[in-house]
Amino acid sequence: MTARPMPETMNRAAKLFLDRGDAASYGEALARLEGFSLAVSCGPEVLTSASHQCALLTLVNAGRRSFLGGVFVELPDDGPVLVPCGFGESIGAAVQALGGKIGMGSSDTARIAVGSVARSDHSPSWQVTWDGWRGGAAPVRGCFRLPERGDVRLAPVVASAIALSEAFQHFDGRAAAGKRAAGVSLWHPGADWRCDDPSEPALRYLPQGLWLLGLGNLGQAYLWCLGLLPYPDNQKPELMLQDFDVVSRANDSTSVLSNDKLIGLRKSRAMAAWAESLGWKTSIVERRFGASTTRTDEEPAVALCGFDNALARAALEDAGFDLVVEAGLGSGPAGFMNFSLHGFPGTRPAREIWKEEPVAPHSELPTPRAYAEMLEQGVLDECGLAILQSRSVGVPFVSLTAAAFVVADLLRRLHDDRACEVLAGSLFDLEFIEAVERDADAYPGTFVTL
């Protein structure tokens, strides 16, 4: 049967090749993704280090959604899972529950090393590495590796997201991918991630009460990042989860806590069930965020926003939150690797940033050949085509990168009263992250002291 792209089922990474005109059909776009595969080689550290397990599980979880040829994992041995990911009690079981395969894959598979692995001249291959608040990926042949210390587990998460981005770009034909080191500092965005930073503090505080607005790819990435943090057993987070939508098949390709078993369930309930499996307390709101959303004094004062509706984002400062940190993702073939962050209150109000702008009518938009052929063949009508073209290209490692910066912003506020008012960057080139930092008021929400 010919694969047909539908808004609620389409793999959002495959949409890249349709929008760019590289594939003549959705089936051809999927076949191209099926040529993307990864092999993850793990050193002995993965058996004893929670941070190394964060890197491994992030690689498998996000990787299998875009690398349809499979994510193969070579373990030195099996052992207990040391992080509360909710996907199995042993490392091998967690890898398989997240969609990975135990084994090494074929010789033409891109390879990623986690921990101390015998050096190989295989190309392409990357070492994920981190230290403190900094993380990234470097070609194995370059022998660059950070000490991989500390318990800021966002660093191995973002390191793995960057490794996935580099591997994806390599398969997609970008010449620089596989030949460069790429990384970020979550403590000083824009600084050289390869250099030691004595100002980085040890992890002492974690946010506790949070309101998550939107539970799609960004909202689920926030949950993944929070879920890997070292919360004490008796001081778990308390979350308000707000979303009106249901899980669709398309979400599996972008959202790290979605899978086919959840299709048709309310996102708020599915994510609450996952959080509660970790011992967290949750409440849910199953309606759109907007003028009717008003926070009470008993509800979380800090919100993380993960939706992309401009009208709703313009109202972020009207609901009564003391602090909102929101992320945005780029779209389309040229911008899908882009991410941004805003913190409120800030110098510019949300209503000024997201002024309502007219949208170009569909007739003025270019129609790539695959869409034109589907229209001519009657696979889609004009309305269906407009809906399909309105869906954005998406890959989970971009939302994980954005989420790491957002959760790190809360941690920075807790540790140093410093915050990012605005941040913007692209996984196409992390050398040019731009951030506007400022002094922040005392953290307004509840938090845990480690």
Same domain, 263 and 399: yes
Instruction: Quote the pTM value.
Output: 0.94
What is the per-residue pLDDT across 187-237, written as a single tens digit (0 to 9) for each? 999 999 999 999 999 999 999 999 999 999 999 999 999 999 999 999 999
Provide the mean pLDDT of the chain. Answer: 91
User: Is residue 360 very low, low, confident or very high in pLDDT (cuts 50, 70, 90)?
Assistant: very low
Q: Do 191 and 418 form a contact (C-beta atoms < 8 A)?
A: no
Show the domain range for 308: 205-449
Both 84 and 209 in one domain: the answer is no
196 located within any domain: no
Going by their DSSP bridges, the two strands 71-74 and 238-242 should be labelled as unpaired
**Together in a domain, 362 and 228:** yes
195 occurs within a structural domain: no
For 298-357, the pLDDT digits (tens) are 999 999 999 988 999 999 999 999 999 999 999 889 999 999 999 999 999 999 999 865
As a whole number of angstroms, the distance between CA 256 and CA 297 comes to 31
Total residue count of the chain as it appears in this document = 450
Chain centroid to CA 49: how far?
A: 22
Domain count, the chain: 2
Q: How far apart are CA 328 and CA 306, in angstroms?
A: 7
Alpha-helical runs (H) found in 48-145: 50-66, 91-97
Cis peptide before 366 (omega within 30 of 0): no
Interval 238-248 mean pLDDT: 97
Task: Give the residue numbers marked as catalytic.
Answer: 383
**Minimum mean pLDDT range among 79-93, 197-211, 241-255, 359-373:** 359-373
Residue corresponding to tokens 């992320």: 327
Token pair for 193: 């991630």
What is d(CA 301, CA 287) in angstroms, rounded to the nearest whole number? 19
Q: Based on the domain organization, do 313 and 180 belong to the same domain?
A: no
pLDDT in tens, 96-117: 999 999 998 777 789 999 999 9
Task: Tell me the mean pLDDT in the region 243-270.
Answer: 96
Q: CA-to-CA distance for 209 and 230, rounded, in angstroms?
A: 15
Q: Looking at the domain assignment, is residue 2 inside a domain?
A: no
Q: How far apart are the C-alpha atoms of 163 and 184, rounded to whole Å?
A: 12
Query: Which of 120, 152, 185 is a domain's end point?
Result: 185
435: tokens are 């951030």
Write down the pLDDT at residue 252. Answer: 96
Q: Which residues, other chains included, contact 168 with Cβ-Cβ below 8 Å and sequence gap of 6+?
A: 13, 36, 66, 67, 177, 395, 397
Bridge partners of 149, per DSSP, are none
